[in-house]
Amino acid sequence: MDTSLLITLLYILFVFSAIVLVVVVLLQEGKGGGFGDALGVAGQQTFGVKASGIHRFTAGVAAVFFITAVTITVLNRTHADTSTLGDSGLLDEPAPAGQPAAPAPQPK
């Protein structure tokens, strides 16, 4: 499999897991309730205090999130010779030498 395709798929999985993680954390009931209260009685029964399945699901999604983040970092470091900007050369050009910046006006 091509490395750039793998990195692209990992980015997609990373963003998807981040969105799911935010939604799942908001659905959980904390000390003052949660977004699960907005769903009514069915939300309280599904995402209540006794729902250990939602906690395991959250841990699984968090693990996927962290694993994809570390994997993306490692793969990008091993292929650091390629730029995300492509071959535009923006990073290779020095800053243009021009006139120095004008001094700031003095307060009166």
More confident position, 103 or 67 = 67
Give a yes or no: residue 86 inside a domain: no
pLDDT at res. 92: 56
Give the model confidence (pLDDT) of 34-50 as tens digits. 555 555 555 555 555 55
Q: Is pLDDT of 24 > 80?
A: yes
Give a yes or no: residue 87 inside a domain: no
Count of domains forming the chain: 1
Reduce the DSSP state of residue 107 to 3 states and report it: coil
Q: Is pLDDT of 105 > 70?
A: yes
Give a yes or no: residue 102 inside a domain: no
Reduce the DSSP state of residue 30 to 3 states and report it: strand
Query: Residue 73: which of 14, 27, 31, 2 has the closest Cα?
Result: 14
The share of the chain scoring above pLDDT 90, in percent, equals 26
Give the model confidence (pLDDT) of 53-87 as tens digits. 788 888 999 999 999 999 999 988 877 665 555 55
Give a yes or no: residue 95 inside a domain: no
Give a yes or no: residue 98 inside a domain: no
The conformational region for residue 43 under phi > 0 = left, psi -120 to 50 = alpha, else beta, is alpha
End-to-end CA distance of the chain: 66
Give a yes or no: residue 56 inside a domain: yes
Give a yes or no: residue 23 inside a domain: yes
Give a yes or no: residue 103 inside a domain: no
For residue 2, with 0-12 CB atoms within 10 Å meaning exposed, 13-18 middle and 19 or more buried, which class applies? exposed
Q: What is the domain range of residue 63?
A: 3-78
